[in-house]
Amino acid sequence: MILTRRSFLASVSLLALVPGAFAATPAEPFDHAMVKSMARDLASRPYQMRADVPDAWKALTYEEYRSIRFRIDHGLWAGTETPFSVDFFAPGLYFPRAVQIHSVENGMARLVGFDLSMFDKGPEVPALPADENLGFSGLRLRTEMHRPGETDEFCVFQGASYFRAIGLNENYGLSARGLALKTGDPDGEEFPEFIRFWLERPVPGQRNMIVHALMDSPSVAGAYRFDITAGEDCVMEVEATLFPREDLTHAGLGALTSMFLFDASNHIRFDDFRPAVHDSNGLLIRNGAGEVIWRPLANPRALQVSSFVDENPRGFGLMQRAREFSDFADLEANYHRRPGLWVKPMGDWGKGAVTLVEIPADQEIYDNIVAYWRPAEPYAAGSEVTLGYRLTWGEEPYRTPLPRVIRTAMGEKTFGEGRLVVVDFEASPLFDDLETLEPVVQSPHAEVAPPILQRNPDTGGARLAFSFVPGETELVELRAQLRRDSEPASEVWLYRWTA
């Protein structure tokens, strides 16, 4: 259940919209209530998969597909006073089913028609059948950010219900999903799809953009509204209304997808010149009780699922805390510039669990990490479920007053039996006097040696070191935290070691 990924996203070309491409299409009234009505109607009927694009589009090779080049100056609203412009991805290859996209102005929606003249194509691209109803595989948003008079991309919707964004001066990394269904289940995962989009045209001076999406899937239909603001962090206010066709026994809300191949905790398994390869290196949780948990990611040898049971979580997200070039030494991928993503529920989400799925992977082209909120009670068939949450994409989209874990490393003990674990905490005034701190290390599965706490002269923070003896145990859960006078002086560090 590993997903192929940026082989197409990193270099795929986009298409532009010439001003006359949609002007002749009829306009119709639009508001978000209409999207909800469409989703409700879809859910009342048996699921019907959309038709594929013509075979010639699906037969494109990767090189042919990537040679279809977008003409930026022909983007939707480009060259006008509208503070945003929109590019459109071509269908075909990895995207056999196209989506319909509409432009909304003054409460009236018009279909954005497809036209081959939107593309610059390489000479190797064969003849491709198309009409204005062909549709696209997705869209990309642009606005002026740090270059006066120039636009920069900051958000992409493409493939199933996947979307991704970046803050200022960042590179694309992890993705979000409208909904995850049955992730990690033995019978396989279900991937809901956004099948139609509506883009509200911003007025001059407006800093946010509204995107509406209609979702469909065998188990559920849904209506989504995204209020998106670009900047140092990209912030999205999301409203989702779900209409289950059948009981949703394993739904993932605020779902995130990322990649973790290796770091100092498992580098020995990879013959690679780089010290680490990952888009994210940890799951951060602030649970309903206010406890802050950092769980470093792993690339296990077998599928593993971790559930952090909670009630009304305050937030969770996948973070990239390694921010220096030297952490990766990769001149092309720039993993140190990948964003983290924080999910903040709006309102109470009740009982459930933040769920982390870690899938074995042997190459960095695979998304092998999924995190989401799994409600304890299924959403019943025929019901209507509305929820809201905020997504923040950025270098450090959520900070707590407690010192963060900035590095986890482990390996066999040089002398004696067992494995040595090293956890580095960032510099903090709480660490001015290490003698007053108590390191608390626990495991229900293995014997843990007394921990040692030292100052790290390189970071100015504290280093916690301890060892454990797994013996014949195949799985060891570990928990560590620094405390002062029985109060937290650091995040909670959790780790699952597997043989």
pLDDT tens digits, one per residue of 448-480:
999 999 999 999 999 999 999 998 888 999 999
CATH topology of domain 26-158+188-246+384-391: Beta-galactosidase; Chain A, domain 5 (2.70.98)
CATH of region 405-498: 2.60.40.10
Q: What is the pLDDT of residue 22?
A: 45
- Please state whether the predicted TM-score (pTM) of the whole model is above 0.75: yes
Q: List the domain boundaries for the chain.
A: 26-158+188-246+384-391, 250-377, 405-498
98, 137 in Cβ contact below 8 A? yes
| Positions in the chain short of pLDDT 70 | 1-24
What integer pLDDT is reported at residue 119 of this predicted model?
A: 81
Q: CB of 467 within 8 A of CB of 416?
A: yes
Phi first, then psi, for residue 57 (nearest 5°) are -70, -40
Phi, psi (degrees; rounded to nearest 5) at 267: -60, -25
Looking at residue 90, what is its pLDDT?
Answer: 92
What's the pLDDT at 14? 31
In terms of C-beta distances under 8 Å and separation of at least 24 residues, what long-range contacts does 486-490 make, across chains too?
488/291, 488/292, 488/402, 489/402, 489/403, 489/430, 489/431, 489/437, 490/402, 490/403, 490/405, 490/425, 490/430, 490/462
pLDDT of residue 24: 55
Helices and strands (H and E) in the chain: how many: 4, 38
d(CA 207, CA 198): 18
DSSP 194: E
pLDDT, residue 117, reads 84
Which of 289, 288, 346, 293 is closest to 313 using CA atoms? 288
| pLDDT, tens digit, 9 for 90 and up, residues 80-110 | 999 999 999 999 999 999 999 999 999 999 9
pLDDT at residue number 43:
98
Beta bridge partners of 92: 95
